[in-house]
Structures are given as C-alpha cells and as structure tokens.
Structure 1
Amino acid sequence: MGRAVVQIKGETDRRQIATWAANVPAGTTVEFRAPRRSTDQNALMWSSLLGQISKQVDWYGQKLTSEDWKDVLTASLRRARVVPGIDPGTFVPLGMRTSQMTKEELNMLIELIYAFGAEHNVKFRELELVA
C-alpha cells in the first residue's frame, strides 16, 4: 500500500486501520487529524460575518476587505507572531492560513468574529445554511 486516507465513520473503519497498521513495514508514517472545517462554517465566515464586518467597521481610519479581516481576526485567535517584512516599514503575521483549520478551530474563530462584531456594533444578517 502506497498511501491511504480513511475517514473514520465507525468500527469497520477502525478495524481496517488496525489491520493496515499491523501489516505495514517499520518506518511507515501514520497521521491522525481532526475533522476539517465544514463548508457551512466556511460559508458563514465568508458570506456573512467577514463581509458584514468589512462593510461596517472602520479600522484606524480605513476600510478593510473581508480577506484583511480574516487575517486580523485569525492573528488574534492564534496570537500570531509578527516579523518585519522584506520592504522597510512592512510587517508580516505568521501562520494565518485557515484552510487547514479543524472544525473546532474554525468554531473558535467564528466565535471571535461574533465577539469582535458585538464590540464594534456590527449588525450581522443571518445566513441560512442548508443542513
């Protein structure tokens, strides 16, 4: 077996993984990851929350895009380190990707977005998600 990816849905999947683990050569790498963010979470974050913040909040005298707000809020959630950029006077926050976030991490980011919005009087319109 070269590579296998299995989403654990029940005991059958667990048994299959155990069988593979018992029979792979020494040195094989196994990685377990928490479930990734859902499309519903992603839609809520982008279509409703970040868009509304970008329309309603002035940040130090300027409007930021939804993408900018994603970076600002993710940096807050992750307590990001900031390093000087290549060009003088620029700074770069490290570790801002959300594409690899787990469902739990994205839930935490969404809660932070709601809290920030509440502190800045953002009126969020509700986004109806299809289950």
Structure 2
Amino acid sequence: MTEIVMRGLDDTCRLMGVLHGTDFSKPKKIVIEDLDRSSDQNRALHAMLTDIARQVDHAGRKWDVLIWKRLLTAAWLRESGEQPQMIPAVDGNGFDVIYERTSKLGVKQCAELIEWVAAFGAEHQVRWTQKDRWGGRYD
C-alpha cells in the first residue's frame, strides 16, 4: 500500500510518479481523505483539557480529563451546527451522548476544537501550563 500526504499542488508530481509506476492489471482503490489530527494537536488538546480539569468546576464539582473532553467536544459540535445524539441507554437508565471521537477528527476539525477549548478556557480564567508553541495556529 502506498500512502502520500498531499499538502498542495506541488505534491502532484510525486503522486503522478507513483501512479505511473503502479501495476494496474488488477483494479486499485484510490482514497483522498483529510489527515487525522496530528500528534502535536493531540498533545496540545490534552494539555489544555488537563488544565481545565484541574482548575474549572462544572455542576458543582471537578471532572477528570475524559469527562471534560466529552463535555467540551459535545458543546463544540453543537456550536458548530452538528448535533451529538442523545440516545436512551440500553439498560433503560437515562441517556447516553454519542458524538464523534476526537481521535477521528481531521487536522482542520481538531484545530477548530482546540480554538474552541482555548476560548472556553479564557472565559473560565484557566491558566495554561503548556507554552503556546503554535502561535495560535493548531493546523
């Protein structure tokens, strides 16, 4: 399997070279998809969630990083015009919220989520412990 990351039209020469060297005696599947979030984005997001978990109360208590990730991702999706689904729990006790996992976010979506989390943190006077190495650009 050949995988090529294309960042612009300049990368088409490399792609064409791969295509010209491909044996098409059997059908091939070519998929163009957005890149998943980067490891830098993942580290930035989790550092921000850790700071929020340590500093912000919600509904009268502190929550761990995983709960904050779920809460903030669901809120970001709603604000972005997407709706996380609330489905009756399979055991009949309450509802479960189903939303897109952050590990499945593309680079652009993750950058938007990070910006949203940064705004949430600013509104709640979160003091960030991780230095901003990206100058506000997370893509």
Report the TM range for the smaller structure's normalisation: 0.7 to 0.9
Q: Which one-letter code corresponds to 2:15 in the other structure?
A: R
Counterpart among 105, 108, 130 of residue 104 in structure 1: 108
Q: Which runs of 5+ in 1 are unaligned?
A: none
* Distance in 2 (alpha carbons) for counterparts of 1:120 and 1:112: 13
Q: Which one-letter code corresponds to 2:43 in the other structure?
A: A
1:49 paired with 2:53, answer no
Secondary structure in 2 matching 1:58: coil
Cα shift at 1:51? 0.5
When normalised by structure 2's length, the TM-score is: 0.75
Aligned pair count reads 126
Cα shift at 1:5? 2.5
Cα shift at 1:96? 3.0
Q: Which runs of 5+ in 2 are unaligned?
A: 79-83, 135-139
Cα shift at 1:24? 6.4
What is the aligned-residue identity percentage? 27
* Distance in 2 (alpha carbons) for counterparts of 1:16 and 1:24: 17
Distance 1:56 1:5, change over 3 A: same
Secondary structure in 1 matching 2:87: strand
Q: Which one-letter code corresponds to 1:30 in the other structure?
A: I
Cα shift at 1:77? 2.0
When normalised by structure 1's length, the TM-score is: 0.78
Alpha-carbon RMSD across the aligned residues, in angstroms, is: 2.5
Cα shift at 1:110? 0.5
Q: Which residue does 1:23 correspond to in 2?
A: 24
Cα shift at 1:99? 0.9
Q: Which residue does 1:12 correspond to in 2?
A: 13
Q: Which residue does 1:118 correspond to in 2?
A: 122
